[in-house]
Amino acid sequence: MSEPKRVLIVSSEIFPYLPESDIATSGRYLPQGILERGREIRSFMPRYGCVNERRNQLHEVIRLSGMNIIINSVDRPLIIKVASISSARMQVYFIDNEDYFHRKAVDCDENGLFFADNDERAMFFAKGVLETVKKLRWKPDIVHCQGWISHFVPLYLKKIYREDPVFSDAKVVVALHDNLSNLEFAPDMMEKAVGGGIVQSDVAELATPNGINFAKMAIRHSDGVIKAGATLDSELASYVDGCGLPVLQGPPIAMDSSDYIVAYDEFYNQILG
């Protein structure tokens, strides 16, 4: 009997740590459903300041914390926390850093403006996830990314970690939702992304650093795409249709439905060949 395939699920939101949304619902029930279908899973999200540590019983994992990650020439400490969802028999790992994730909002300030450092937060989150998985010595077969803050993960896997034995065989799937068209990142996002094995052509889409182009960059470094949202921006939908990758039109995401979980699981099999 072959070993269960391993799925690393990298989400911007997971319910109940954040309110219900398509991504948060998928972040909560997809790992459980995949686990129940016989696979192994690891699940990650940012430890936003609005996540109540006491109520959700988060605690720091000392053996995984302690390294520094360089973002825009500054060393920033990586803190790893974990919580359990006992009813699902699963743990959630949280990527934490005081500078990036202790503010009380997820991605916008009190005036509704997108945080100016959201590009750096995405870089830190992606590197934090991958470095933590390395420390866990847990070799994923599929890396499932959902939410804009996960969109550097495909790039890093293909350009920085591709020779690492933990990630060398991993296939990357990006699930696209409906909340990308109005995102505007810092003008120098592309310059900050270059380095460590990444050249300007790898991130050419970020010359105009918005949510649609960030997603396009993630897709270009992925192995499959899920149209998870019902109403994707037309420009992004056209790009997906012409990207030449396997594409799944995902069923609607709902707490009382496992249709999308079954479809995603079968899509993973397709990607793995």
**pTM, entire model:** 0.96
pLDDT in tens, 221-243: 999 999 998 889 999 999 999 99
Find the angle CA(164)-CA(170)-CA(173) to the nearest 5 degrees.
Answer: 135
**156, 127 contact by CB (below 8 A):** yes
H-only helix segments in 160-225:
189-193, 211-220
pLDDT at residue number 3: 64
pLDDT at residue number 1: 39
Helix (H, G, I), strand (E, B) or coil at 76: strand
First to last CA, the chain: 18
Quickly state the pLDDT bin for 209 (edges 50, 70, 90): very high
pLDDT at residue number 185: 97
Dihedral (Cα; 169, 91, 22, 18), 10-degree rounding: -130
H-only helix segments in 86-210:
98-101, 118-136, 153-159, 189-193
